[in-house]
Structure 1
Amino acid sequence: MCRSIKTLRAPVTPEVTEADIRAAALQYVRKVSGFRAPAAHNRAVFDEAVDAVTEATARLLDGLVVRGTP
């Protein structure tokens, strides 16, 4: 899909910041929408999508259990 989105789960990335999660969400929304930067009339829905993907990604990372890690 989007090869520039890096793996954010531990232990691959030991410290994941909110900025890391948001950057990945932005990359995903850009790829799916086909827009690097949306037009003014699409800005609100684009930003809402980034927010939703950011929240879903944070929940995913918080809930993952990786075997062999403390």
Structure 2
Amino acid sequence: MCRSIKTLRPPAMPEVGEEDIRAAALQYVRKVSGFRAPAPHNREVFDEAVDAVAEATRRLLSELVVRGAGTGHQHEPAAGR
């Protein structure tokens, strides 16, 4: 898919911040839309898509169970992120 999107789950990345999640969401939307930056008339829908992908990513990371990443419990991103 998009090689510039990093793996965000442990152990590849033990601390995931909001900036990491937003960057991955932006890269995904750019790849899917084919636009690095949207035209003014597409800005709102582009930004909404980035928000939706970021939220889905937060949810995914908070609910994943990663075995072999220490305790074997769910991975929870740092508070406030």
TM-score range, shorter chain: over 0.9
Any runs of at least 4 consecutive aligned residues in structure 1 with deviations exceeding 3 A, and if so which?
A: none
Q: Where does structure 1 lack aligned partners over 5 or more consecutive residues?
A: none
Match of 1:44 in 2: 44
| Aligned pairs (5 A) from 1:1-70 | 1-69=1-69, 70=71
TM-score, normalization: structure 2?
0.84
CA RMSD of aligned residues (A): 0.5
Q: How big is the shift at 1:68?
A: 2.0
Q: Where does structure 2 lack aligned partners over 5 or more consecutive residues?
A: 72-81
| Cα distance in 1, alignment partners of residues 58 and 11 from structure 2 | 16
- Aligned residue pairs total 70
TM-score, normalization: structure 1?
0.97
The Cα offsets for residues 32-70 of structure 1, whole Å up to 9 and x where unpaired, read as 000000000000000000000000000000000011231
Corresponding residue SS for 1:56: helix
